Amino acid sequence: MVNQEDIATKLARIQARIDHMEIDPATRDSIADTLDQVLRTLPLSDGDKESVPLLFEDLYNNAPDMFASVDARTKVILQCNDTLCRKLGYEKKELIGQPFTIIYHPDSLEKVSKTFANFTVTGEVHNAEFILRRRDGQVIPAILNVTAVRDDTGAIVASRSIWRDISGIVLARENLEKREQYFRSLFEKAPLGYQSLNDEGKFIVVNQAWLDMLGYTREDVIGRPFQDFLIDEGFVETNLPELKAKGEIQLPVTRMKCADGQEKIVHIDGRIGFDEDGNFLQTHCMLTDVTEQKKARDALLRSESFAQSIIENEPDCVKIIGTGGRLEYMNPAGLAMIEVDDLSQVKGKSVFPIITEEYREAFADLTQRILAGEEKLRLEFQIVGLKGTPRWLATHAVPIRDADGQVEALLGLTRDISAQKEAQAQVQKALTELKRSNEELEQFAYVSSHDLREPLRMVTSYLQFLQRNHGEKLDEEANEYIGFAIDGAQRMDYLIRDLLAYSRVNTHTKPVERVAAKAVADQAVINLKQVIEDKGATIEVGEMPTVIADKNQLLSLFQNLIGNALKYSSTERAPVIRVQAEQHDEEWHFQVSDNGIGIEPAYFQRIFVIFQRLHQREQYEGTGIGLAICKKIVANHGGEIWVNSDPGQGTTFTFTMPLPD
């Protein structure tokens, strides 16, 4: 007797294999018929034969797929297996007799209607994907296969439907789509351009960064040869064979055309894909826009070339001294200064031997300080060239720093100042000689002025004696002549006296000291008290600073300027003279202003020249030396003097003196 369990096991195993085979329902039915025939040939007992339908029913109800039969006319469910009920959460009695659409999700009903309409014509449905709805509202994605049940006339009376739950497949597909979408997003949003070419050198794929880089649309690119987008003709034909042989692509400078006609320089880096047999499949390349870097690099090279050209042709010496104090570089002008034909003769050697002994220590100190990080040092020193020529040089030195800010060398710019030094020596010699000459002239003027006054006083005395004791014996004309002679002698005495005062400005100076300028101005007013009273003048002395000056010369300066204001006062109004001071930057401005007759602008410079007078002697007394003395005193104190005037209204004299340290 055949063991019923063995038959069930074998049938279940066969059915399981059938269920996992990608075959259409008609084939499945054919296989089922074959199984039935096989069973009929088995030596079964009557009891076993009666149990076979039960086995098929068990397989039907416990199959992994969902089965149902639907009436073709009423479209209600005639029969279904337990698997369909279990997966959809229904009792079998709740489905039998119900419209078959009860098991579909509303979103699938339109597709179900079209599919069923097509089924009534073809009698079959193959692998149609639908969404089923469970009783609790959850959904199950499924693939549907349907075969027709026909009557003796061939008319479709019912359908046999099989649904396979593809939830796992759909989930896997969704995950795959998400991953694909994620990688597609990365691909499109990548900061670098990507391109892939086929074996004909035509575009298969480009990403958005590639399109943005060159300004094209995808339609402009896909399917077109790479060469169409290159500026250099024959680029692909020239490079592709070698790249195929290498399997790698390294094109650091590739000139590509932009959609707007501009040029882009790109770096292409990638590989070539081959199949198992070594046949070319496609390229995979990343593109980096290096246009700006290329421009910057070219500009840097031009700048370096330009700088090198300047250094090589610079008339001054440009040198670099390393941290060991040895020469690393010197331009042609520098080599000429030290009388060397080629840099190789001195490179790597110390420069100290050509520096004269008295300046070596100072040069070594400058070098050490620069290499220690000090900035912008200067030194004048002497050298003797390798051919024996002495020279004076002036060098300006700064440190050269590496990327970390560490000093790695000294950069020096050195100029030959031999001619300048020679000129300075000659100027100094001339100045010394001029100073000596001026001192002699001043001494001569002083001695002459002093010695001239004695005989002049004697002449004046005898003339006055003659006029006083014998005047009555002389006629009127003789007395007039004597008067002229006395007057001329007195005026000459005044002139000699003022000339003596002018010469004493330099020869009789006292050491400068801190002087209260207001006290000195007040003393000048006291000295001029009689003239002030005679003129009915008002003198206003404002607040003044303390200055570094020769007190006597400052007194003479104030007295001359105030006296001048009194002398040239207006006859129409009482004199008002103001003396004041104001600070301007690093100096004091002193002013002596009046309301006198004023000065024409044409004479602003002339009045400071010795012996220059603007008026007749009969109008105003004087020798024309007073303002020359003022100018000399101001110059001795490092200042300047000038005048501003409004003729008929008054005059202001301004002189400057430095602020005390």
> Residue 81 sits in a domain of what CATH number?
3.30.450.20
Q: Residue with structure tokens 């399917």?
A: 223
Number of domains in the chain: 5
Q: Which two tokens stand for residue 253?
A: 């400078």
Check whether residue 321 and residue 395 sit in a common domain. Answer: yes
The pTM of the full predicted model, rounded to 2 decimals, is 0.37
Q: What is the pLDDT of residue 621?
A: 61
Tell me: do 649 and 594 sit in the same domain.
yes
Using CA atoms, how far apart are residues 176 and 78, in angstroms rounded to an integer?
39
- Could you read off the pLDDT of 370-386 as tens digits, one per residue? 888 888 889 999 999 99
Instruction: Give the orientation angle of helix 4-19 with respect to helix 25-41, to 10 degrees.
Output: 160
User: In angstroms, what CA-CA distances link 403 with 307, 400, 407, 408, 435?
Assistant: 20, 10, 10, 10, 56
Distance (Å, rounded) from C-alpha 569 to C-alpha 619? 12
State the pLDDT at residue 651.
92
d(CA 322, CA 400): 9
The packing angle between helices 46-62 and 4-19, to 10°, is: 30
What is the DSSP pairing of strand 513-516 with strand 587-593? unpaired
How far apart (Å, rounded) are the C-alpha atoms in residues 226 and 224? Answer: 6
> Greatest CA span in the chain, whole angstroms?
205
Q: What is the pLDDT of residues 633-658, one digit of tens each?
A: 899 888 999 999 988 899 999 999 99
How far apart are the C-alpha atoms of 547 and 542, rounded to whole Å?
A: 15
E runs forming strands in 222-314: 248-257, 263-274, 280-289
- CB 409, CB 323: distance < 8 Å: yes
Distance between CA atoms of residues 653 and 558, nearest Å: 11
Residue 610: pLDDT band with limits 50, 70, 90:
low
Residues 36 and 138 in one domain: yes
CA distance 111 to 72: 17
Residue 77 lies in a domain: yes
| Per-residue pLDDT tens over the stretch 14-53 | 554 554 444 445 545 555 555 555 555 555 455 544 444 5
Is residue 649 domain-shared with residue 514, that is, in the same domain? yes
CATH code for the domain in which residue 626 is found: 3.30.565.10
Mark whether 123 and 40 lie in a shared domain.
yes
Q: For residue range 512-522, what is the model confidence (pLDDT) as tens digits?
A: 789 999 999 99
pLDDT in tens, 64-100: 889 999 998 999 999 999 999 999 999 999 999 999 9
Q: Does the pLDDT of residue 661 top 90, yes or no? A: no
Give CA torsion, residues 368, 371, 377, 380, to 10 deg: 50
| Residue range(s) defining the domain that contains residue 639 | 509-658
Q: Burial letters for 194-233: b for 16+ Cβ neighbours within 10 Å, e otherwise? A: bbbbeeeebbebbbebbbebbebeeebbeeeebeebeeee
Query: Do 412 and 453 belong to one domain?
Result: no
Residue recorded with tokens 């998400």:
178
DSSP characters over 503-521 = HHHHHS----EEEEHHHHH
H or E element, residue 467: helix 418-470
Do residues 27 and 138 both lie within one domain? yes
Q: Do 529 and 476 sit in the same domain of this protein?
A: no
Please answer whether residues 530 and 493 qualify as being in contact, where contact means their C-beta atoms are separated by less than 8 angstroms. no
The per-residue pLDDT of the chain, averaged, comes to 81
Residues 273-285 have a mean pLDDT of 84
Name the pairing type of β-strands 280-289 and 193-197.
antiparallel
Contact partners, residue 20, CB within 8 Å, separation at least 6: none
Decide if pLDDT at 244 tops 80: no
Instruction: Indicate if 524 and 393 belong to the same structural domain.
Output: no
Residue 576, pLDDT above cutoff 90: yes
Q: How far apart are CA 563 and CA 540, in angstroms?
A: 14
pLDDT in tens, 387-428: 999 999 999 999 988 888 888 888 888 999 988 888 888 888
One domain, residues 322 and 404: yes
Identify the residue whose tokens are 């018929």. 33
Nearest to 5 by CA among 51, 72, 50, 38: 51
Residue type, 469: N
Looking at the fold, whether 439 and 475 belong to one and the same domain comes out as yes
468 falls within a domain:
yes
Q: What count of residues does the chain have?
A: 661
